[in-house]
Amino acid sequence: MRQRVLLGALVVVLLIVGWVYLMPGDDDAAPPRPAGRGAGAIDADVGVAAALAPAPSGRPAAGAFTVVSASDAAQGIEPLRLAALSRTPPGFTTGRNPWRFVEPPPPKPPVPKPPSAAELKALREAEEARQKLLAEQARLAAIDAATPKPPPFTWTYLGNFGPARQRIAVFTDGKRVWNARLGETLENKFIVAQIGYESVDIRFVGFPDVPAARLAVKH
């Protein structure tokens, strides 16, 4: 019986507390809601939005709304600046991506030092000497080209036979064979100048100053 009494008293206290803190007073009462609209709807005639606001007494009022007039709401609206919409944003340059390897640029080559007057003179003299050498080589080449030359000896020396003082050299061109003693002429072009055991010296008719060509025995 005692527990029921205490439980009933607790329920009464909770109802009183709920009534004081949850139910609005006469000054905080919201105007009646229009039919078909929910909480927080905008009144088309007044042109304001309902917002939650604390009660004047400082205690929270559940479900209470404050009606703001259209003129008061217009004063709090920031004007639209159309010029700011057409302004070009400042340029932005991205930096190096730390996750991407970039090969560093090669170092700049050193700037060559301009040559001095002495170096320029030495270069000029070296170039003049080079040009003179080229001219001399060209002159000698022209003289050599104009100088008559003996025909090349293309025969093969096969060896020799006979006594030591009268040796006979044997030659062939692959088709014919020639036998010649010391001092004899072959085809009126070549002279047998020396016959050795393993070689023979050939001179050229009409070219006494041309050195003799030595041929070895072909085995």
Give me the mean pLDDT over the 1-23 stretch: 74
For the domain bounded by 156-216, which CATH number is listed?
2.30.30
Which pLDDT value is given to residue 44?
Answer: 39
The domain limits of the chain are: 44-76, 156-216
Please give the helix or strand (H or E) that residue 71 lies within, else none: helix 70-75
CB count within 10 Å of CB 205 equals 14
In the numeric block, which tokens belong to residue 80?
């639209």
- Given pLDDT bands bounded at 50, 70 and 90, which one contains residue 52? very low
Percent residues over pLDDT 90 in the chain: 28
In the numeric block, which tokens belong to residue 195?
């016959």
Q: Which residue has the higher pLDDT, 32 or 154?
A: 154
pLDDT of 101 above 90: no
All residues at 6 or more sequence positions from 26 whose CB lies less than 8 Å from its CB, including other chains: none
| pLDDT 10s digits, 144-155 | 888 888 999 989
Contact predicate 178/188, CB 8 Å: no
Give me the mean pLDDT over the 79-95 stretch: 67
Q: Which residue has the higher pLDDT, 140 or 147?
A: 140
- Given pLDDT bands bounded at 50, 70 and 90, which one contains residue 43? very low
In the numeric block, which tokens belong to residue 119?
């170096």
Contact predicate 49/39, CB 8 Å: no
Average pLDDT, the chain: 76
Please give the helix or strand (H or E) that residue 141 lies within, else none: helix 117-146
Give me the mean pLDDT over the 33-49 stretch: 42
- Please count the residues of the chain: 219
| pLDDT 10s digits, 157-211 | 999 998 888 899 999 988 999 999 999 999 899 999 999 888 999 999 989 888 9
Whole-prediction pTM: 0.38
